[in-house]
Amino acid sequence: MAVPTWSSSLKVLLRADATAQLRTPFSLVLTFALPLILLVATGLGKNSAALGGPEFRISLALTVGLVSIGTVGYSLAIARDRDTGVFQRLRVTPAPTWTIMVSRWIVQLGAVLVMAIVVLVVAAFFVGVTLPAQDYLFTVLVALLGSAVFLSIGQAIVGLIASADTLNAAGRVIYVPLIGLSLFGNTDRLGTTVEMVSRWSPGGCLETLLSAAMGATSWSGQVWGALFASLGYTVVFAVIGIRWFRWVSK
Amino acid sequence: MTPALRVSGLRVAYGSVVAVDGIDLEVREGEIYGLLGPNGAGKTSALSAIEGLLRPSAGDIVIGDVDARAHPLQAKAHLGVQLQTTSFHSSLTLVEIVRLYAGLYGVTLKSAQIRELLGQINLKKEASKRFRELSGGQQQRFSLLIATIHDPELVLLDEPTAGLDPQARRQLWDRIERFRKEGRSILLTTHSMEEAQAVCDRVAIMDHGKILTVGTPAALIAAHRDDPQVRQAAHGEVTLEDVFIALTGRELRD
């Protein structure tokens, strides 16, 4: 009996994982509803300008989407499938084990790509922010890099926490500061220490990169610093997540 | 004739705890082989090592003529596996799950063929349902269909009838018997002595990671009939369960 090629295994896994992603209402809310609500809501009220300009609203919406998808949606889905034995069932097939996880990552990256495009389209038509063509490309590329950062954080969470229930609780605890730090990266209202921590947090770095990609700020040393910090976060958290990941929860 | 499965010196350890302690077993072509043992005897660990889910610390596993430790993916292609607790992607329909697993084994099936396969296990009407929406018996039939979707030579079943009602259990025995008639070999674990006597050609009784005895159910009963411990365990005619209790003890296991 011949062993199927890894590419054919990956293809059928991708099809199944993408179908599952599209059928999960929770993941659709995290991917689309949350960033779009934030995009619109941050423009409401008299003091909304204090948070930042229109580019800041877009970058915040994208960052919240990426944090939600990576640290909550992805990690929870992986933990649930691990708890229920879905991965063990897949692992007894001749598909190389790495294809099982890579398929999940590709589907998440695809979801981020679609989310970024939808946010930018809504921003153009409803917020009135249009960008030069190359800035759209940069913004989408930065969103994909941000996705790698937060997926690796999600992977680290699911690598270090065995049970889906514990992970659900821990994910929420981690989610709030990640979002909070992203929110205050552009303001020193909570003091310069918070501002600095916020600026160099994963969400803060992403916002710096998104602002530069959208042309709101120039490519300075700080932007390069944010780029290298993001790559560093991705590598460190991915190593932790892969090193300590277990296919079974007990 | 090449055996369907040959295991020698298999050892599985979790840190300092040895779950499987150097066992040897051989499943012949077309044979139904039962692995019996109390909870914690090492049955599932042994099966997991054969399935490629656990890395054994020692020993050889040969499936057909494939060295499973050297060529794990090739070995998996020859195996059909039903795990003790099975679950599939929760939002996929039965048709989609069949398509996924057939694809993972390199089998291409059209929708009509998948529905026909589901019809053979009385699940045609449930084709658009999710796995979790099925009853226990239906889930078991479906899991067995997935395990054999690629027509494997060797099927591993980990406690296949646990939690099933008598009707579903009998149906499953019939299916296992049909597999044998189709030329497949089967290695199953079970707690049910009735099941072992009803379907297995040979059984091995395992405890504390070691195989204590191997033989046909009738041969085991005959060989141990006069053991004082077996006589003590028996209530009338000696059964396989009496032999099992005499060999593994009466104390409760986790």
- Using one digit for the tens of pLDDT, what is the confidence trace for B27-74? 999 999 999 998 889 999 999 999 999 999 999 999 999 999 999 999
Facing A92 at nearest CB: one of B52, B87, B90? B52
Query: How many angstroms separate the CA atoms of A88 and A28, rounded?
Result: 26
Q: How far is A147 from chain B (nearest CA, A)?
A: 23
Contact B104 A94 (CB under 8 A): yes
Identify the pLDDT of residue B253: 62
**What Cα–Cα distance (Å) separates residue B144 from each residue in A4, A233, B137?**
21, 44, 11
Domains and CATH numbers, chain B: 5-215 (3.40.50.300)
Tell me the Cα Rg of chain A: 19
Instruction: State which amino acid sits at residue B34.
Output: G
- A123 in a structural domain: yes
Contact A93 B105 (CB under 8 A): yes
Q: How far is A86 from chain B (nearest CA, A)?
A: 5
Contact B104 A15 (CB under 8 A): no
C-alpha of B247 from chain center:
22
Q: How far is A111 from chain B (nearest CA, A)?
A: 17
Split chain A (250 residues) into runs of 10 and give each run's mean pLDDT.
90 96 82 85 65 77 88 90 93 95 94 92 85 91 94 93 84 78 64 80 89 82 93 96 87
Contact A19 B85 (CB under 8 A): no
Q: Given CB atoms, is A28 within the 8 Å cutoff of chain B?
A: no
Identify the pLDDT of residue B31: 95
Is residue B165 pLDDT above 60, yes or no? yes
Q: How far is B94 from chain A (nearest CA, A)?
A: 12
- A203 in a structural domain: yes
Contact B76 A86 (CB under 8 A): no
- A210 in a structural domain: yes
Q: Which residues of A touch B99 (CB under 8 A)?
A: 12
Facing B100 at nearest CB: one of A4, A16, A94? A16
Q: Given CB atoms, is A4 within the 8 Å cutoff of chain B?
A: yes
Query: How many angstroms separate the CA atoms of A21 and B68, rounded?
Result: 34
List, in sequence order, every residue forming a beta bridge with B82; answer none if it has no partner.
B157
Q: How far is B248 from chain A (nearest CA, A)?
A: 26
CA angle A158, A151, B53 (to 5 degrees): 45
* Token pair recorded at residue A40: 């619109």
Contacts of B175 (CB under 8 A, 6+ apart): B141, B144
Query: How many angstroms separate the CA atoms of A168 and A107, rounded?
Result: 21
- A115 in a structural domain: yes
Q: How far is B254 from chain A (nearest CA, A)?
A: 16
> Choosing among A19, A27, A88, which should be mutated to test the B contact, i.e. which has the most B CBs within 10 A?
A88
Is residue B75 pLDDT above 70, yes or no? yes
What's the domain range around A72?
A: 6-243
The sheet carrying B154-158 orders its strands as B79-82, B154-158, B185-190, B32-36, B202-207, B210-215
Q: Which residues of B touch A247 (CB under 8 A)?
A: 53
Q: Write the pLDDT tens digit of every residue in B170-188.
A: 888 888 888 888 889 999 9
Is residue B3 pLDDT above 70, yes or no? yes
Contacts of A231 (CB under 8 A, 6+ apart): A145
Q: What is the DSSP string of A198-228?
A: HHTSHHHHHHHHHHHHTTSS---HHHHHHHH
Three-state secondary structure along A99-155?
HHHHHHHHHHHHHHHHHHHHHHHHHHHHHCCCCCHHHHHHHHHHHHHHHHHHHHHHH
Q: If you measure CA to CA, which chain A residue comes closest to B146?
A: A89
Q: How far is B52 from chain A (nearest CA, A)?
A: 7
> Choosing among A11, A24, A90, A93, which should be mutated to test the B contact, i.e. which has the most B CBs within 10 A?
A93
**Maximum distance among all alpha carbons in chain A?**
69
- A248 in a structural domain: no
Q: Which residues of B touch A91 (CB under 8 A)?
A: 52-53
Q: Write the pLDDT tens digit of every residue in B77-100.
A: 999 999 988 789 989 999 999 999
Residue in the block written with tokens 């398509």: B99
Contact A20 B91 (CB under 8 A): yes
Instruction: State which amino acid sits at residue A14.
Output: L
- A249 in a structural domain: no
Question: Does residue B186 contact residue B180 with C-beta atoms inside 8 Å?
Answer: yes
Q: If you measure CA to CA, which chain B residue comes closest to A16?
A: B100
Q: Given CB atoms, is A95 within the 8 Å cutoff of chain B?
A: yes
Q: Given CB atoms, is A97 within the 8 Å cutoff of chain B?
A: no
Facing A92 at nearest CB: one of B51, B92, B97? B51
Question: Does residue A168 contact residue A88 with C-beta atoms inside 8 Å?
Answer: no
Strand pairing report for B185-190 and B32-36: parallel
List, in sequence order, every residue forming a beta bridge with B80; answer none if it has no partner.
B155
Q: What is the DSSP letter of B93?
A: B
Residue B2 pLDDT class (50, 70, 90 cuts): confident
- A168 in a structural domain: yes
Q: If you measure CA to CA, which chain A residue comes closest to B82?
A: A89
Q: The whole model's pTM is what?
A: 0.89
Identify the pLDDT of residue A186: 59
- A1 in a structural domain: no
C-alpha of A217 from chain center:
22
Q: Write the pLDDT tens digit of every residue in B94-153.
A: 999 999 999 999 999 999 999 999 999 999 999 999 999 999 889 989 999 999 999 999
DSSP H or E run through A166? helix A164-183
Residues of B with CB under 8 A from a CB of A: 51-53, 73-74, 76-79, 81, 83, 85-92, 96-97, 99-101, 103-106, 150, 152-153
Strand pairing report for B5-14 and B17-27: antiparallel
Q: Where are the alpha helices (DSSP H) in chain B?
A: 43-51, 72-78, 94-104, 111-120, 136-147, 166-181, 193-199, 217-224, 228-233, 240-248
Q: If you measure CA to CA, which chain A residue comes closest to B95?
A: A16
List, in sequence order, every residue forming a beta bridge with B67; answer none if it has no partner.
B62
* Token pair recorded at residue A15: 């099809």
Q: What is the DSSP letter of B203?
A: E
Q: Which residues of B touch A78 (CB under 8 A)?
A: none
Identify the pLDDT of residue A236: 97
Count of pairs with CB atoms under 8 A, one residue in A, one in B: 89
* Token pair recorded at residue B65: 């003529």
Contacts of A38 (CB under 8 A, 6+ apart): A57, A60, A61, A64
Domain count, chain A: 1
CA angle A38, A41, A44 (to 5 degrees): 155
Q: Which residues of A touch B92 (CB under 8 A)?
A: 16, 19-20, 23
